[in-house]
Amino acid sequence: MFDLDGVIYRGDELLPRVVETLADIRRRKIFMRFMTNNSTRTRKFYCEKMRRMGIDAWEDEIVSSSYAAAWYLRKNAPSGAKVFIVGEDGLRDELLAVCDIVDEKQLQQAEYVVVGLDREFNYKKLANAMSAILMGAKFIATNLDPDFPASGGRLLPGGGAIVAALEMATGVKPLVIGKPEPLMMELVLDTADVKREEILLIGDRAATDIVAGKRAGVETCLVLTGVTTPQEAKMLPPELTPDCVVNDLGGVLNILDETCGN
């Protein structure tokens, strides 16, 4: 199971040894899923983005935090729910498949407030979401990422910064869908024929990817093409230490050779 940002690509930049590594894994007929905390895009978008980069990928292999939020709502509100969203089109499109979206004129009807990265976030959206939560709507966060990697080595504010503002305003802690919580892992276990002990989770951020793997009870691998430097990897405390560390995605093939053979 691969994280996307910092493992497969960084912004629009394909990372080293990704295409050949994934092609080799396909050749071995090993089950794959791609996971991302980024809720701004649909699974179709991520699939098409990887294909433009020369990577074979299918929509049902993508697990985004927005898709996982929709899966959670489908399970917990099977007759449909009324939801107020702070987020972008990816979150809206995934949730529209399972619930009714309410606007600022219908805040009293909101049963859930679902919050993700929103690059047009403003005070009005904060106030509306706050009002809905204080009127009783359940608070769901797609993720708590403080930042995310962009092209050229730049970091940009993540969805967690928006969630933190709303948590401070309401005094309410959200249910978190994305990593480091294990819900996205549980989605895969619930919908695919794979066992927990057969999973290797590969990510670039110890505090989210590695912790998510540990909480879900799966093996973890930290790849050093994202936010974690080699020096930081050597200094990680036990609770953040992965089962293995590789410089780039090509190092995963050595792990597979040791555990699965050729």
Catalytic residues: 3, 5
**Which structure tokens are listed for 118?**
């929103």
Phi-psi region of 261 (alpha: psi -120 to 50; beta: other; left: phi over 0): left
Going by C-alpha positions, the residue among 103, 86, 73 that lies closest to residue 40 is 86
Peptide bond between residue 230 and the one before it cis (omega within 30 degrees of 0): no
d(CA 129, CA 169): 10
β-partners of residue 99 are none
d(CA 186, CA 95): 19
Going by C-alpha positions, the residue among 251, 247, 253 that lies closest to residue 230 is 247
d(CA 8, CA 226): 9
Determine the 3-state secondary structure of 222 from DSSP. strand
Q: Is 39 exposed, middle or buried (0-12, 13-18, 19+ CB in 10 A)?
A: buried
d(CA 142, CA 39): 7
Going by C-alpha positions, the residue among 23, 24, 29, 28 that lies closest to residue 57 is 23
